[in-house]
Each structure stands twice: as structure tokens, then as C-alpha cells.
Amino acid sequence: MNQGKNQGLLAELKLLLRSVPSLTVTVFIVATISMNLLANKSINLPFSWLALDCGIIVSWIIFLCMDMITRRFGPKAATMLSVVSIAVNLGMCLVFYLGSLIPGTWGESYVDGSETVINTALNHTFGGTWYVLLGSTIAFFVSAVVNNFVNWYIGRAIRKDQGFAVYACRTYISTGIGQFVDNLIFALIVSHNFFGWTLTQCIMCAFTGAIVELLCEVVFSPIGYRISNRWKEEGVGNEYLAKYPVKE
């Protein structure tokens, strides 16, 4: 029975990957990989209570993609693609780790007297740390599920008007909650346990980070709205939706 269920999910995933525009899937996956690399660099801020990293540059893209996919294909489809993105990211992390083990010198490490230190730092940056990868993977998966289903249920609750106002309402609320969950879980798993952050610091940084990331979503949400409308007008995903209908 489980084997049949797994085969059914695999068949659904194959059809989904054929149905969602390849550029959207590509941007989604590239943004996920880039976010984890950029997160290694913290941003210098004048406020001690605010902690952000450079992953914020692309993290909003991930939630924008999930919101577009949820609106057209439903929360299950968006979550399945999130799992695909996680799997590809883990594969790339393995590639980066193997690359960091290969004897050699990074081009940027050629600084008189500092070659070894810089080269080691670059190897550690790309090689990663197991608990950071574990924390980010769990945080992203949980936040994706939260974002996708909160977005969908808000859309179902507001049935009369499906214009931009409704799209904005469902995406802003789901993104704010999803980003907060993402930041908080990562802070609790990694920062609290391995870097000694207090619970107050974890909550404050999760909240402030979510606000900043939500502002990016607000700025670019009209693009997601137009793209998802175009998908519907052009019949993108009709084959998938005919076989796996999404309840309105």
C-alpha cells in the first residue's frame, strides 16, 4: 500500500514539474541555494537587537515563488516543490563540501602572510557546518508548509473577490508568519543551542527579520500577482489541475 502511495506521489511530482514553468522552478531552487551561501555573511547594523544576514537578499524570492505556485496549483504542490528545492540544495551542499576538501588554494586567498587563514575560512564557508545545515533545512521545510497552507486557507476564506487586494492579504499574512517561523526555528536550533543566544534574542531577531523580509514581499508582490494571473489566462498547469484538482 505504501509502495503504491509513493508511486502515486512520484507520478504527481513528475507531472507537477512538467506543469510549473521551468523558469519559476529554476529561480526557486537557485534562490534557495544562494540564500544558504549568503547567510554566512552577517550585515553590520547600528542596532544591537537587530541581526540580519545577506540571505535576506534572496529569501523573499523563495516566498514569492511559493505564493504564486500556491495560488495556481495549491498548497500541496507548492510544498512538494519546496521539498525538491531542499533536496537539490542538500545535493549542492555535498558538492560544496567535497570541493572544500580538495587540496588547493582559492583565488581570493593570495594575500601576503594570510593565505592559509583566508583559504581555510573560504573552505569552511563553502564546506558548511552540519548543525547550520540541519537547522536551516528544518526551518525552511516547516516555514514552507506554514506559508503555503496559511496562504491557501486565507484565499478560501475570502471567496467573493480574487483581485490584487485578496492576493496581497493572503501573501502578506502568510509570508509574515512563514518568515517568522523560519527565523525562529533556525534561531532556536542553531543560535540558541550553539551560539548562546537567549530566547528573547531569538524571538526579537525572528520578528525583526520577518518584518524586513515581508517589506521585500510587499514591494514585489504585484509581479507575483501578474505572473499567476497570466498562468491562469494561458492555461498553465491545466493538465496537472485536471488530474489533481485543487479545492476552491
Q: Is residue 4 assigned to a domain?
A: no
Cell of 154: 486565507
CA distance 241 to 91: 30
Mutual orientation of helices 2-19 and 75-101 as an angle, nearest 10°?
A: 90
Q: Is residue 138 very low, low, confident or very high in pLDDT (cuts 50, 70, 90)? A: very high
The answer to whether 61 and 27 are in contact (CB under 8 A) is yes
Residues in the chain: 248
pLDDT at 233: 95
Report the SS3 class of residue 245: coil
Structural domain harbouring 196: 15-243
71-123: pLDDT as tens digits = 999 999 999 999 999 999 999 999 999 999 999 989 888 888 888 899 999 99
Q: Is residue 180 assigned to a domain?
A: yes
Phi, then psi, of 127 in degrees rounded to 5: -70, -30
- The pLDDT of 130-155, averaged and rounded, is 93
pLDDT at 111: 86
Number of structural domains in the chain: 1
Report the SS3 class of residue 163: coil
Q: Is residue 3 assigned to a domain?
A: no
CA distance 67 to 78: 8
Q: Is residue 70 assigned to a domain?
A: yes
Cell of 195: 551560539
Sequence letter at residue 19 = S
Q: Is residue 2 assigned to a domain?
A: no
Q: Is residue 36 very low, low, confident or very high in pLDDT (cuts 50, 70, 90)? A: confident
pLDDT at 248: 60
**Which one has a higher pLDDT value, 38 or 227?**
227
pLDDT at 159: 72
Q: What is the 3-state secondary structure (H, E, C) of 199-215?
A: HHHHHHHHHHHHHHHHH
CA distance 212 to 31: 17
pLDDT at 160 over 80: no
At 193, which CATH number?
1.10.1760
- The pLDDT of 150-171, averaged and rounded, is 87
- The pLDDT of 235-243, averaged and rounded, is 96
Mutual orientation of helices 22-38 and 75-101 as an angle, nearest 10°?
A: 50
Q: Is residue 33 assigned to a domain?
A: yes
Q: Which residues contact 136 (CB under 8 A, 6 or more apart)?
A: 36, 39, 186, 190
pLDDT at 19: 97
Q: Is residue 209 very low, low, confident or very high in pLDDT (cuts 50, 70, 90)? A: confident
184-208: pLDDT as tens digits = 998 899 888 887 878 888 898 889 8
Q: Is residue 8 assigned to a domain?
A: no
Q: Is the pTM of this model over 0.95?
A: no
Of 138, 152, 186, give the one whose Cα is nearest residue 67.
152
Q: Is residue 45 very low, low, confident or very high in pLDDT (cuts 50, 70, 90)? A: confident
Q: Is residue 224 assigned to a domain?
A: yes
pLDDT at 1 over 60: no
